[in-house]
Amino acid sequence: MVIIMLGAPASGKGSVAEILSREFHIPAISSGDIFRKYISNGSEIGKRANEYMTQGMLVPDDLTVQLITSRLKEDDVKEGLILDGFPRTVNQAKVLDDMLVKEKKKIDIVINLETPEEEILERITTRRICSNSDCKTIYNTVLHPPKVEGICDKCGSPIYQRDDDKLEKAKKRLEVYYKETAPVVDYYKNTGVLYSTVLSQSINRMKDEVAKDVIEYLKNK
């Protein structure tokens, strides 16, 4: 099974992917996490990616595609995978199509999370993440705070705010999203796999409700 998560930053892609990963026993692969891992290792690749990430810009396609291609060759994706944060440009979507043909895989669903614009900025700037790279639980200081401030409920590690989730960078990322990534939704429009759905606090439809509907949809497909 191949699942693609689309949506603005902090629209809930990672949270929904986590639930689907548990349900279908397939790994959720976040391109942002891959970059952050290279950055924390202090590698040259990480340094190059960081130049773009710290400015709220997209990492160039050549580097992004290189890292995703090598990740998709690992053993754990044999039964399927969830891509969270890739593709983010129409070019990446085309490259992914070619990769999947080579691997004899096809996309089952492209989940496009639609979140009202006014909610997105607030969600980005109130997002917090567990610093333990094996946990990475996502919190929100308003909607879903940890029980003890600053500490992850699941593993007890400190939680932190990503530098690019701070207001000025978040605004830049949103601008980039509308320019570069929103067209990816159109790219999938005529493929029969696009599943657009609202994830919004305003209608009380959050990650659990969205994931439940997706699971039901996929099981009946």
Residues 59, 96, 110, 129: which binds ligand AMP (CB under 6 A)?
59
In this chain, which stretch among 30-38, 95-103, 143-151, 153-161 interacts with ligand AMP, using CB under 6 A? 30-38
d(CA 138, CA 127): 7
Residue tagged active-site, from 36, 123, 127, 136: 127
User: Do residues 17 and 84 make contact, with C-beta atoms less than 8 angstroms apart?
Assistant: yes
211 touches ligand AMP by CB under 6 A: no
Task: Identify whether 127 is a catalytic site residue.
Answer: yes
173 touches ligand AMP by CB under 6 A: yes
Task: Identify whether 22 is a catalytic site residue.
Answer: no
Give residues 78-97 in contact with ligand AMP (rule: CB under 6 A): 85-86, 88, 92
> What are the CA-CA distances from residue 76 to residues 25, 27, 28, 65, 141 (Å)?
10, 7, 10, 19, 33
Task: Identify whether 88 is a catalytic site residue.
Answer: yes
Give residues 178-207 in contact with ligand AMP (rule: CB under 6 A): none
d(CA 37, CA 40): 5
Give residues 135-164 in contact with ligand AMP (rule: CB under 6 A): 164
Q: Which helix (H) or strand (E) holds 179?
A: none
User: Do residues 98 and 65 make contact, with C-beta atoms less than 8 angstroms apart?
Assistant: no
- How many other CB atoms are found less than 10 A from the CB of residue 215? 14
| Smallest distance, ligand AMP to C-beta of residue 85, A | 3
| Smallest distance, ligand AMP to C-beta of residue 114, A | 17
d(CA 27, CA 36): 17
Residue nearest to ligand AMP (CB): 32
Residue carrying the six token digits 């593993």 = 155
31 touches ligand AMP by CB under 6 A: yes
> Mapping DSSP to helix (H, G, I), strand (E, B) and coil, where does residue 177 land?
helix
Q: Are strands 109-114 and 28-30 parallel, antiparallel or unpaired?
A: unpaired
| Smallest distance, ligand AMP to C-beta of residue 92, A | 6
Catalytic residue positions, numbered: 13, 88, 127, 162, 173
Residue ranges binding ligand AMP (CB under 6 A)? 9, 30-32, 35, 52-53, 57-59, 64, 85-86, 88, 92, 164, 173
